[in-house]
Structure 1
Amino acid sequence: MNTKVGNLIYKGKAKDVYETEDDQKVIVKFRDDITAGDGAKKESLSEKGFYNSIISSKFFEVLEEAGVKTQYIELLEPSYMLSKKLEMIPLEVITRNIAAGSLLKRFPFEEKQEFEPPIIQIDYKNDEFHDPMLNEDIIIALGLATAEDLATIREITLKINSIVKNFLKERGILFPDFKIEFGRDSEGNIVLGDEISPDTCRFWDMKTWDVLDKDLFRKGESGVMDAYKTVASRILDEEDKKKWNLNI
């Protein structure tokens, strides 16, 4: 890895962000930690950071090719992603195509009910307040984003959903829901950040509806890394696999 890892800027539940010699770029390190229940449940799974970084970089590349601006620059090596430095907006933007997870606990939807158009939910990314759901008025009153910002975020989110959903459909994977985060770049543009991986998305096999994401860990089931590797094997082309010496 040619780029030097500098001082630690931020330590999250499963990723670290480091300075580089360029003050407009950072290195995001994907760790093997996996958490659930607002961090109450935590383990370390060998190679999780490795696969999450490769999967996320692939999705970022697909989105960039389709015209969606992201913080992604390149994957320096598995687990280490070179990214544009963003001022993160403390919002978690959740898009739901199929009813699953916490949505079923909060609202009287039927399990696996499909949504067209998709539901967009925004939560406050704040551990102290346990990531509560927000509406537009509260977001604006807290000074987290403007009405114009939120319209931009919604437009980009729907575009991301369409691109990734179609990309996965061609590879036999359903896309029930996903969480993404945004930040502002040095010019003030709203840009997709964080990651798109089995940690932040639900992926189901299109034929069997088998779970291929972190839900397995949430439910205490086995095969978490097998599921992550299955996602990688389906979305990566042969050139990607050869580049990272993957036998999947």
Structure 2
Amino acid sequence: MERYHLTEGDSGKHDGRPVIYDGVAIKIYEDEDPSRILVQFTDGITAYNMIKKARIAGKGRINNAVSAMLAGHLERGGVRTPFVRLVSADSQLCTKTDVIPVEMIVRNVIAGSMARRLGIEEGIRPGNTIYDLCYKSNDLGDPLINDHHAVALGLVTYAELQEMYSMTEKINSILLPLFKGIGIDLVDFKVEFGRLPDGSLMLADHITPDNARFWDIRTGERLDKDRFRRDMGKVGDAYREIHSRLLSVSPFFGSDISDIRQMSGH
């Protein structure tokens, strides 16, 4: 993994680059290398399919750092991620894939939409890991689908789904003990996958407090986007806490952590 030394306050300026995706929380730009993209994490935050929007100061930099650290950890565990290297405090270079419009949600603890949909109390830990599929469509509100829907819609093949489940299970098995070691319960998270030119699949997503639920094991405090969804306040503090705890185990991440430390001022 290449290293790029950052200085505190260094932010990406990508004027002139063609924009591939102009989202509230993430912007994606073309790179000189057609096999790569530039991903910029912004301070924007949304909930309920863009109905609720705000800006959280410093969130983009935190998500960039958290994403990079977790990508490095997954790579060492044998999971291919899109992360190539850090480019600035809020941006990273990533491998370009043909993203499959299927979102996979991993649930280790009952929370959020599943609790509401099925009338189950939040916080219950099922005896099995639950995997949900959602069709990525803003117009339809990312509806819940099953394997057969995904294949019938031409989104994936059964063989690809099997591989996606296998990779997601591996990601979960790698991240659960990592977060437990820093006192965090990995409640659930979302991932997407993409196809490479040779047809193989790889993770095409970034795991951050924007798309995962992190609860403090001791207190049950929520340290993720639920604080924004539910008007709980201290959203930035929660994101910084996740960042800080991951930095606290920096020797485990290896020498490339120096980039993250410089970026965060640690």
Q: Please classify the TM superposition score into its range, dividing by the shorter chain length.
A: over 0.9
Give the match's secondary structure for 1:116.
coil
Q: CA offsets per residue over residues 7-63 of structure 1, 9 Å max, x none?
A: 111122311110111000110011110000111000111111110110011111100
What are the equivalent positions in structure 2 for 1:1-248 lying under 5 Å apart?
Answer: 5=14, 6-236=17-247, 237=250, 239-240=257-258, 242-247=261-266
Cα distance in 2 between the residues matched to 1:45 and 1:124 = 28
Of the structure 1 ranges 235-244 and 138-147, higher mean CA displacement relative to structure 2 is found in 235-244
Give the match's secondary structure for 2:194.
strand
Cα distance in 2 between the residues matched to 1:146 and 1:59 = 28
Give the match's secondary structure for 2:139.
helix
1:245 Cα offset (Å): 4.1
1:4 Cα offset (Å): 9.1
Cα distance in 1 between the residues matched to 2:90 and 2:162 = 33
Give the match's secondary structure for 2:224.
coil
Gaps of 5+ in 1: none
Distance change >3 Å, CA 243–CA 150, structure 1 → 2? same
1:75 Cα offset (Å): 1.4
**1:63 counterpart letter in structure 2:** L
Q: CA offsets per residue over residues 65-113 of structure 1, 9 Å max, x none?
A: 1000111111112211100011000011000000111111111333211
Of the structure 1 ranges 227-236 and 184-193, higher mean CA displacement relative to structure 2 is found in 184-193
**1:43 counterpart letter in structure 2:** A
Q: Relative contact order (C-alpha < 8 Å, sep 6+): which is higher?
A: 2
**Contact kept in structure 2, 1:86 and 1:184, CA below 8 Å:** yes
Q: Report the counterpart of residue 8 of structure 2 in structure 1.
A: none
Gaps of 5+ in 2: 6-11, 252-256
**1:83 counterpart letter in structure 2:** C
**2:161 counterpart letter in structure 1:** L
More strand by share: 1
**Contact kept in structure 2, 1:183 and 1:190, CA below 8 Å:** yes
Question: How many residue pairs are counted as aligned between the two chains?
Answer: 247
